[in-house]
């Protein structure tokens, strides 16, 4: 579960840009929105926390 959070947080800008290529409804400037970066940092920190907790 921790690797899922970590990868989705780390790769979410690339995922959104890839989806916006296939689905023209998504705006390509969505990468600049603050909420996406907050979600990215949140998922990355959650994955890192779960990873450290699981290793102990």
Res 29: pLDDT: 65
Has this prediction a pTM greater than 0.85?
no
Res 53: pLDDT: 81
The pLDDT tens digits of the residues spanning 7-42 come to 666 666 666 666 667 766 666 565 566 667 777 777
Q: How far apart are CA 35 and CA 43, in angstroms?
A: 12
Q: How far apart are CA 13 and CA 29, in angstroms?
A: 11
49's tokens:
């926390």
3-state secondary structure of 25: coil
């Amino acid at each position: 579960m921790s690797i899922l959070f970590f990868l989705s947080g780390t790769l979410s800008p690339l995922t959104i840009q890839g989806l916006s290529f296939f689905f023209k409804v998504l705006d390509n400037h969505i990468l600049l929105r603050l909420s996406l970066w907050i979600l990215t940092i949140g998922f990355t920190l959650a994955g890192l926390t779960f990873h450290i907790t699981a290793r102990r």
